[in-house]
Amino acid sequence: MKKRMTANRQTESSETHTRLDFPQPGIARLTLDHAERSVNILSRDVLEEVEAHLLSLEKRDDIQGLVIASGKPGSFIAGADLTEFAASLDEPADVIQNVSRRGQDLFRRLSAAPYVTIATIDGICVGGGAELAVWCDRRIVTSNSKTQIGFPEVKLGLFPGWGGTARTPRIIGLANAVELVTGGESMSGKAAFEMGLADDLIDVGDDAENTASTANNALLEAALRMIEADQKSGDFLANRQRWAEPIAMSETELAFLGATAVAVIQQATKGKYPAPVAALELMLEASMGDLDAACQMETEQFVPLFGSPINRALLNVFFLQDRNKKKDGGSGKGQAKAASVGVIGAGTMGLGIAAVSLRRGLKVTISDNRAEALASGEQQVLKEAAFDRDLKGPNLDKVLELSPGLNTTIQARPLATCDLVIEAIVENADIKKELFGEIEPHAQGTTVLCSNTSTIPITKLAEGLKRPDRFCGLHFFNPVRKMPLVEVIRGKKTSDDTIARATSLARQLGKTPVVVKDGPGFLVNRLLLPYMNEAAVLLGEGVPIDQIEKAAKSFGMPMGPIELHDVVGLDVCLHAGKVMQEAFSNRVVPTPIVDQLVEAGRLGQKNGLGFYDWKTDKKGRSKKSPSDDVQKIIAKLATPSSTSHDLTDRLILPMLVEATRAMQDGIAGDVRDVDLALIYGIGFPPFLGGLFYWADQIGAATIVEKLEGLRSLGKRYEPTKMLLEKAKNGTQFYDN
């Protein structure tokens, strides 16, 4: 068994997306290497090839083991082919059942093979890929940070339909499997090993030049050892028998698991996503039957979720992301990667941007005119950049590895040699302009200067520059490590090359860039403001805070607009509101409430006093409670009126109307960019598919009708040309 692995290698057959070879006598290796994709996906043709290989191997009696590997460096299998799923959304139930049953049948063939089957996993292994892996006898994973195993199907409004819900609990226990399937989160190779989902963990280090081939060789070595051991002990056959049985749990244990899991799901989904509960119910019930019965139940219960409105909306979100990733032309695709970033301003945003950049392997220099901000900022950046999910804190080896890549300087000038410089200092146009004026003369020809401003027009900031074409907005959202969106803002004179470099950097940082035209509030804040403004207007009409919050949350927003004021900071809201009021005076309604609260020293969550009172609990979490003082201020300012309007319409429709105006003004190039930007920038509910996608489900004519009923409230409810046209022609925003 331990012959050199390169010896005696002969290829039996070669197909389009897969290769079967024999690294040693008696050992088959099936390598998945999708011909048209950068990652492996289990499209129909790939599955057919896998099936053909399994059939050919079954006919032989000399095979001891089959190793399943990936030909894509650092990536195993990214799941099923969702374009195929999307194409079958309208199919009848029996066809959908067949999609599930065919996958199960194929994988079942794998699990009944007359030899040991081992999935060797380096890199992403999710969805259908994870299902294939759990149908193997064994799984070996690498410790590489790219290795992620999980079942994200619930995020698409589904659950695993190729036997994942049946097979996984039999390997790792029902409680672990429920957590994995209903939570939809992936876990690292190390976590999978500790949980028992993987049988071996191979330490191949991270980021080494030759990690992929090192990993593949190490995985194969480990698989050969495992096959030999399993053939000797027969353990794999015992496992097969055990995993075919019902799961041994008492009714009390099942009831307890069900109750705790429902509570966790409810907390995470607020009752808006049915798939996790459906998965839980299925897994609890199916645990009592054998594996065959569990597979049958999975197939049957998969059908009602497939093609449901929520499944369609979530698939839309997936395709919005996919479209964004594939976009070319000014998208940064094909752009050489940046090696260094300069960040000016060691505050909330600057430190967040620096940490993400350092974590992603860029050389980072931070500048601030306060030495103390630099000293504490440097530590904070290192800690955040070296954060390890498994350790729930910084990894000290990583801190040592990253620290030579981080520099600080009081002077901003040295940053001019970086590939990109991102300014995140105080929100003041004159100070920002002065700073850029100081750096620009020292910048290299290719250096791109960016501002993270949230309100100042990019074209205005570029006014004093000699090369305004090398300048753009790069607007991150707070907190940077969590928020996936970056608006790339094109000023009047910004060049395509600058946009491409800035967009490419955002991608390099793992963010989702959306390119928008310069204009007040750019895209996201322009659309967020009408929603927040309306909340303040409603307070002025005497609507209680909790009713406003409830209306937004029942629509699906992650938090109410009043709480959002506190999280953003009331001073920041006040400033942004004034900017928008100046720009759009005909539709932004002046409301004195935020002014008065700021005047009373209430700045929001950051100083413990906003619309709510904020306290930190024992676990360090910020907790809010209603404030009597604020009630008094509101009572003084409010003029109660008996509004009979639907509060959700009041809050959401001004955002939609403004979005159509932003489209008309050319701020965004496509409604899909708006939808993605709002989901990623403000947490617009993914289960609604996006603002314009949601509007399409309701229909422009119905929306115009609703707006007519609200029109007396002001221009913010006036249907725009775009809406009227869609309503008249019966067309959809997504039609183009």
Give me the residues that bind ligand NAI (CB under 6 A), please. 344-350, 368-370, 373, 424-427, 431, 435, 452-454, 478
Cα–Cα dist 246/137, whole Å = 18
Between 149 and 424, name the residue whose CB sits nearer to ligand NAI. Answer: 424
Q: Kindly state the tokens that stand for 140.
A: 């070996």
Q: Which is nearer to ligand NAI, 474 or 609 (CB)?
A: 474
* 3-class DSSP state of 639: coil
Kindly tell me which of 348 and 407 has the beta carbon lying closer to ligand NAI.
348
Residue 255's CB: how many other CB atoms inside 10 A? 12
Minimum gap (Å) between residue 440 Cβ and ligand NAI: 15
Q: How far is the CB of 437 from ligand NAI (least distance, A)?
A: 11
| Sheet of 448-451, strand order | 406-409, 363-367, 340-344, 420-423, 448-451, 471-476, 485-490, 512-517
- Answer left, alpha or beta for residue 433, where phi above 0 means left and psi between -120 and 50 means alpha: alpha
Q: What is the C-alpha separation between 206 and 209, in angstroms, rounded?
A: 9
Q: How far is the CB of 317 from ligand NAI (least distance, A)?
A: 23
Return phi, psi of residue 150, to 5°. Answer: 180, 175
Q: Are strands 393-394 and 187-188 parallel, antiparallel or unpaired?
A: unpaired
Contact 542, 641 (CB under 8 A): yes
Q: Which is nearer to ligand NAI, 347 or 669 (CB)?
A: 347
Closest Cα partner for 525 from 585, 464, 572? 572
User: Which of 66/677 has CB closer to ligand NAI?
Assistant: 677
**Neighbouring-strand partners of residue 450:** 422, 472
Q: Are 208 and 147 in contact (CB under 8 A)?
A: no
Query: What are φ and ψ of residue 485, in 5° steps?
Result: -85, 140
Q: Looking at beta carbons only, is 314 or 439 nearer to ligand NAI?
A: 439
Residue 645 catalytic? Answer: no
Label the pairing between strands 124-126 and 75-77.
parallel
- Helix and strand numbers (H, E) in the chain are 30, 23
**Least distance in Å: CB of 311 to ligand NAI?**
33
Residues 6+ apart with CB under 8 A from 48: none
- The whole-angstrom distance between residue 193's C-alpha and the CA centroid of its chain comes to 25
Distance CA 325, CA 323 (A): 5
Q: How far is the CB of 575 from ligand NAI (least distance, A)?
A: 8
Cα angle: 429, vertex 681, 587; to 5 degrees: 65
Burial 550-563 (b: 16+ CB within 10 A, else e): ebbbebbbeebbbb
Query: How many angstroms separate the Cα of 143 from the Cα of each of 40, 166, 206, 400?
Result: 20, 27, 8, 19
3-state secondary structure of 418: coil
Cβ proximity to ligand NAI: between 128 and 473 the closer is 473
Looking at residue 42, what DSSP letter applies? B
Burial class (CB in 10 A: 0-12, 13-18, 19+), 549: buried
Min dist CB 415 to ligand NAI, Å, is 10
**3-class SS at 143?**
coil
Residue 343: beta bridge partners?
A: 366, 422
- Residue among 17, 53, 475, 565 flagged as catalytic: 475
Min separation Cβ 441 and ligand NAI, Å: 17
CB environment 279-311: b (16+ within 10 A), e (fewer): bbebbbebbebbbeebbbbbbebbbebbbbebb
By beta-carbon distance, which residue lies closest to ligand NAI? 347
For the CB of residue 254, give the shortest distance to ligand NAI in the complex, in Å. 46
Residue 435 beta carbon to ligand NAI: minimum distance, rounded to whole angstroms = 5
3-state helix, strand, coil split of the chain in percent (to 5) is: 55, 15, 30
CB 525, min distance to ligand NAI, A: 9
In the Cβ-directed half-sphere of 293, how many Cα atoms lie within 13 Å? 12
Residues with a known catalytic role: 475
